[in-house]
Amino acid sequence: MTLLYRLDAPAADVAARFGARPGGDQWAGGYCTPGRFAPVTTAGREFIAGPRPAGRPLAPRMVPRLWGVQPPPSAGDRARLVATVRNPDSPFWIGNLRNSEFRCLVPATAFMEWGSGTDYEGRRLRHWFAPEDQPIFAMAGVWKDDEVPGFALLTVEAHGVPRELGCRTIPVVLPDREDMRQAWLHSGWDTARSVLGSNTQLLATIV
């Protein structure tokens, strides 16, 4: 489960990378963990949730969002935020995923996953990954409107190097293509869902 990533770039550089308006985000770089704010890029309405104006696409903008959303009422621990989406067909997520204004890009420079095995001190191994050709990359995210709007990362079964190292899941890393990013931000759910299946990026381990 992805519960830690890095975004080692200031807000202005991140916004420029994805053609977004930087807005008032003061991000200067660092680690991102659940329960803290991090930048995301969204193409929804400026201040409130809801459909975009008909026939008038909204330009992407970068905004701070809390990593983690309030769990459903049936959850045993209501204080534990939900940080990842393992099943996009879940009734808890599908309404937001079908409405593109709630989808977002989550920028990162690396993400961490737990692997199998332990080190010489008996601590569980952890590994950092990033695409080989993207200094700043985008992960697929979705946000929910609440008292404090929060987002979650979509995840899939690990493949490639992460799977070889014993990782179980990884976030959906979008291909470095503008059409893929725009599809996630603007397209209908059928098209956007196909983007999830394109998560075949070559990930390299980093220190």
Of 30-34, 53-57, 93-97, the range with the lowest mean pLDDT is 53-57
Report the domain count for the chain.
1
**100 token code pair:** 């593109």
Burial of 23 (0-12, 13-18, 19+ CB in 10 A): middle
pLDDT 10s digits, 45-93: 665 565 665 555 667 899 999 999 999 877 767 678 999 999 999 999 9
Q: Which residue range forms the structural domain that includes residue 21? A: 5-206
Q: What are phi and psi of 34, to 5 degrees?
A: -55, 145
Q: Name beta bridge partners: 127.
A: 113
Q: Name beta bridge partners: 6.
A: 31, 110
pLDDT of amino acid 57: 61
> Domain containing 195 — which CATH number?
3.90.1680.10
pTM here is 0.91
pLDDT 10s digits, 62-71: 999 999 999 9
